[in-house]
Structures are given as C-alpha cells and as structure tokens.
Amino acid sequence: DVKVTQSSRYLVKRTGEKVFLECVQDMDHENMFWYRQDPGLGLRLIYFSYDVKMKEKGDIPEGYSVSREKKERFSLILESASTNQTSMYLCATGGGPNEKLFFGSGTQLSVL
C-alpha cells in the first residue's frame, strides 16, 4: 500500500510565523502535490512537483512556496502565515499522467 505521511495532524501558529508542512511518500512516485481544502470550496491545488528540485504553481500559489530536495519529500512553506491560510492541507502523490492520487491524512492548520 502507498503510504503518504504528513508530519503533523494539527498545528496552531500565530500570524506572521513561518510554517513548514512536511510530506513523505514511500512509493517512489515522481509526482507530489499540495492541496488545501476549505468548506464549500473543495480541494484546490497550491503547488505540485514532477521531480526533485522541480516545482510548478497550481491554482492558488500566492502566499506559499515549496521545496523538493529529495524524491520522497515535498515541503509546503508559508513564509508569513495569515489568518486566511487557516485550512486543511493535504499532500498527495501519483505515478504519472492521469494516475490516481494517494493522499496523506492531512494537516489542520489554524493561524491565530
């Protein structure tokens, strides 16, 4: 079974803090993704990566950056957290074009 592990289930941060969300997968998948999930808005793609050191913007990249130094690890960075970034963050991994995505358990981030 594919395992996608997100480092924290719950995080509480203050406005202006730098926040790191970590995601690790064990299936040697090329593609990794960060989504945020908000009630009524569904899943929205923030950033994705096809390979080590490669990154592409998704639909809502503003206020976020990412890092992929190793194939199995994809980090989402909030440089200066704001209250409108309070959300559920989901990491996903997939093997190729139109491949099914496998999700982590999510990180519920609250920015106060």
Partner 1 sequence: GQQLNQSPQSMFIQEGEDVSMNCTSSSIFNTWLWYKQEPGEGPVLLIALYKAGELTSNGRLTAQFGITRKDSFLNISASIPSDVGIYFCAGAPNQGGSEKLVFGKGTKLTVNP
Could you tell me the smallest distance in angstroms from the CB atom of residue 49 to partner 1? 10
Could you tell me the smallest distance in angstroms from the CB atom of residue 103 to partner 1? 4
Q: Which of 46, 47, 45, 49 is nearest to 30 (CA)?
A: 49
Structure tokens at 98: 């139109």
Spell out a b/e string for 36-45, using b for 16 or more CB atoms within 10 Å of the CB, else e: beeeeeeeeb
Residue with tokens 């969300």: 21
12-71 binders of partner 1 (CB under 8 A): 31, 33, 40-43, 45, 48, 50, 56, 58-59
- Which residues make up the interface to partner 1 (CB under 8 A)? 4, 6, 9, 31, 33, 40-43, 45, 48, 50, 56, 58-59, 90, 92, 94, 96-106, 108
